[in-house]
Amino acid sequence: QVAFTARVARSIASLLRTSLQERSLGGRLRLCAAWQAEEDGRVPSGRVIMDDRAVHLGIEPLGAGTLVTVMWEHVPALVLQLESATAV
């Protein structure tokens, strides 16, 4: 189970939305690294890892080291879910 605060969910949604516009894996990895560096102070135990096939999300200690994997083709739906969950 992974839980996010509304602020973290919005931040991850923004990262993912921007990443979807980036065509190269290298560009996505740079965006992710910049996001992670910025979030480390706010969410030191959270992380987003990207590879060519998927995005892997984890928030410690809730996930106890577990990453939730979302294939790139499903990331648009994840973005919509994160955004709609924080719109309430």
3 state DSSP class of 61: coil
Q: In Å, how far are 17, 46, 60, 65 from 14, measured between CA atoms?
A: 5, 15, 20, 23
Query: pLDDT confidence of 81, banded at 50, 70, 90?
Result: very high
Residue of higher predicted confidence among 20 and 5: 20
Q: How many residues does the chain have?
A: 88
Span 4-14, pLDDT tens digits = 678 888 889 99
| pLDDT of residue 74 exceeding 80 | yes
**pTM of the entire structure?**
0.85
